[in-house]
Homo-oligomer: A and B are copies of this chain.
Amino acid sequence: MPLDVSPYAGTGDAATAILSRWNSLTAPALRAAVETLHPWPARMAAYAFGWADRDGRPSGRGMAAGGKGLRPALVLLCAGAAGAPAESALAGAVAVELVHAFSLVHDDIMDGDERRRHRASVWHAFGVGPAVLTGDALLALAMATLARVPRPGAAVAMERLSATLIELVHGQAEDLAFEDRPWAGRDAVTVEEYVAMAEAKTGALLGCAAALGCLLGGGSPERADRIAVMGRQLGLAFQMTDDLLGIWGDPSVTGKLASSDLRRGKKTLPVLAALEAGTPAARRLGELLTAPLTAEGDLELVRDLIEDAGGRQRTRERATACLRRALDVLDAEGASGPAAEDLAVLSRFLVERAS
């Protein structure tokens, strides 16, 4: 389902090559960090990253099998764009990927998601209590990794990371609270409320990744602030694309149940944008959403109505606008060279991916 953002077509292979290259730098450091944990949470963390199966046997899957490794690549590339060797930001790359893994493990508990990346989620595989512990271990390890960075970088970086965690909690709280709010009427979730939630829940950590790369690469706090805006916009574009994939994505590629977001009444941008259209399709959609969606036929009708009311198109447009704002920041910073080019390729990939 590539979006129409020509001339950006065909970046999938290039992006995969970039991610794979940077992940070969991050993965050993990440594994070494995880191995310092108590063996039990370490084993569950290895499962969460896709390195091992439930019994601790190596899965033969690389880091990319566990996740895209987008955030650590962003850290390293932003160090490169600041003119530093990527290695200088390695602790930041490891810390950001650990925080990402922490948030997935805990969010899956809160959301009751049984599947993650084609496998049972951590709580579903090991139980809720052990999954809580695994998330705590990943977060503690992220902090410890960053706290050991040579000063004064560590203090600035820790301040960034902790502010990001506050935002992550805020975004997750909003996301969960949205589930209890109605689709229509005065208490309905607005598109703008959604965007604020997505910026906290997804944008903040990509912004943090970009800022940490810049800071650990020797960039000034002011430059880090600007480059963080790029990361935040990329995070928004990423989340909006996720929402599209959650409704129209191929379950065999995304690893999630088809239309799982619709099934449990999750407030995502395509639906909210459709509802705000005020067209007959939007009104019919609003009526259908008042009852839980269970029948396959209902799900299909809802998908069609979202599309008819323009929800799919408007979400694509917003994702593309976020992507352009991100690329504008990169331009304005005068970033050039291989790192900046890779950043541009990765950025485009975020809205073109199929999983």
Contacts and interface: CB of A to CB of B under 8 A. Distances in A.
Contact of A147 (B37, B106, B112, B158): B158
Interface in A120-142: 128-130, 132-133, 135-137, 139-141
Interface in A311-347: none
B129 A112 contact: yes
A169 B37 contact: yes
A141 B139 CA distance: 13
A156 B152 CA distance: 10
A136 B37 CA distance: 19
Given A158-B147, A173-B38, A132 B132 contact: yes
A174 B133 CA distance: 11
A65 interface: no
Contacts of A236: none
Nearest to A154: B155
Contacts of A249: none
Contacts of A165: 136, 139-140, 143-144
A144 B129 contact: no
Interface of A is mostly: helix
Contacts of A40: 173, 176-177
A343 B219 CA distance: 45
A177 B139 CA distance: 21
Contacts of A176: 40, 129-130, 133
A148 B155 CA distance: 9
Contacts of A118: none
Contacts of A173: 38, 40-41, 133, 137
Given A136-B169, A170-B38, A128 B151 contact: no
Given A37-B169, A173-B41, A174-B38, A143 B129 contact: no
B158 A140 contact: no
22 contacts: A37-B170, A38-B174, A41-B169, A106-B132, A106-B133, A109-B128, A109-B129, A110-B132, A128-B128, A132-B135, A133-B173, A133-B176, A140-B166, A140-B168, A140-B169, A143-B143, A146-B162, A147-B159, A147-B162, A147-B163, A154-B155, A154-B159
7 closest A-B pairs by beta carbon, nearest first, are A140-B165, A143-B162, A110-B129, A144-B162, A38-B173, A155-B155, A147-B159
Given A110-B132, A133-B173, A137-B173, 17 more contacts: A36-B166, A37-B170, A41-B173, A109-B132, A132-B132, A136-B168, A139-B139, A140-B165, A140-B166, A141-B166, A143-B143, A143-B161, A144-B162, A147-B161, A147-B162, A154-B155, A155-B158
